[in-house]
Amino acid sequence: MKIGIIPKIIETHKNQFEASIELKLISFINKVFINCSTETLISKKKSNFDILIISGGNDLPAAINDRKNQIRNNLNNYYYNYAKKNNIPVIAICLGALFIAKKMRCKIIKKKHVGSHSIYYNKKKILVNSFHNYIIDKFNSRIVPIAFAEDGSLECFKVAKNKIIGIMWHPERNKNIKKFDIEILKKYICN
């Protein structure tokens, strides 16, 4: 199995950009998807991955419209369309989730979620970590909600017609993999 990852874009010097993937993410993927290989998707070209991960990092151009965010958004757009067309499951984390939510015309508003907070998922109240400045405030019938934060913002969802899930927290940043993270991936991606 091959996993394609859209990386975070960082500006190293003026007008010089690099792709970056946290080691934690790679390690997380290796633990969850046994015997898989990963590919970092840094330019728009066709590839044959089985699952697409839109990783965290960067901001939506709608929030901060700079060059690195534009590059990132282009990559997101390209691979999102590619995955959708070819029925490839997508796991969108943090910025990725916001990106998908925006695509689905959800209402996104500015509000900080930093550090650990509770979410309501599957009849349980669970602690997760979050590092984002925007939240999904309202959604529509294209979205199936999976988890909400205590303030009612959407923390995890599935796109109704596709195998695409958005997760606002960072499952990869935990020391040990959480049971419910695996549960969500299993239920909505691997099924």
Partner 1 sequence: MKFKSKAKTLKTIKLKKGIIPDLEIFKCSDFIKNKNKIIDKIENQFNAKIAIRSSFIDEDRENSSNAGKYISFLNVNPQNKKDLILKIHKVIKSKKNLKQKDIFFVQNMVQNIKISGVVLTRNLLDYSKCININYSTGSNSTLVTSGSKNTKSLIYYKNDIFKIDEKFEQLLKTVNEIIEKTNQEDIDIEFAIDNKKKVYILQIRNLIIPKGKLYQTDNRINEFNKLSKKINKLKKKNISLFGETTYFGNMPDWNPAEIIGSKPKPLALSLYQELITNHVWSENRLKYGYNDLSQFHLMTTFFGTPYIDVRIDFNSWLPKTLGKKISNKLIGYYLKKFRLNKTNQDKVEFNILFTCLTFSTKKRIEKELKKILNKKEKIIFYKSLEELNLQALKQKKKDKELINHLIFRQFEIDKSDMYEIDKIYWLVEDCKKFGTLPFAGLARCGFIAMDILKSLNNNKMINNDEYSSFLESIETVTSQMKIDLNTVSKKRFLEKYGHLRPGTYEITNKNYRENFKEYFGNIKKNKVNHKKLKFSLLNKIPSTLIYKSKKEMIDFIKDSIVMREYSKFIFTKSVDLIFKNLEKFGKKYNIKTKDLSYIKIDKILDFYFNLSNYKTIESIKKHIRENKKEYNLNKNIALPDVITSNKDLFVQHRKSEDLNFISNKIISSKIIEYKIEKNIKNYEGIICIENADPGFDFLFSKNIKGLITKYGGLNSHMSIRCAELNLPAIIGVGEIMYNNIIRCNNVIMDCTSKKIELI
Cα distance between residue 124 and residue 114, in whole Å: 21
Which residues inside 54-73 make contact with partner 1, applying CB under 8 A? none
Which is nearer to partner 1, 67 or 124 (by Cβ)?
Answer: 124
Q: Which is nearer to partner 1, 9 or 106 (CB)?
A: 106
Q: Using CB under 8 A, which of the segments 42-50, 57-65, 144-152, 161-169 binds partner 1?
A: 144-152
Decide: 90 and 54 in contact? Cβ < 8 Å.
Answer: yes
- For the bound state, the minimum distance from the C-beta of residue 96 to partner 1, rounded and expressed in Å, comes to 20
Phi first, then psi, for residue 180 (nearest 5°) are -70, -25
By the rule CB under 8 A, 151 interacts with partner 1: yes
From the list 14, 46, 85, 125, which residue makes contact with partner 1 (rule: CB under 8 A)? 125
Residue 121 found at the interface with partner 1 (CB under 8 A): yes
- Using the rule CB under 8 A, is 138 a contact of partner 1? yes
Among 124, 133, 183, 187, binds partner 1 (CB under 8 A): 124
Would you count residue 140 as binding partner 1 (CB under 8 A)? Answer: yes
Q: Supply the minimum distance, in Å, between the C-beta of residue 106 and partner 1.
A: 9
Write down the residue that tokens 């969108």 correspond to: 92
If the CB atoms of residues 78 and 148 are measured against partner 1, the closer one turns out to be 148
Binding site for partner 1 (CB under 8 A): 120-121, 123-125, 137-141, 145, 147-148, 150-152, 154
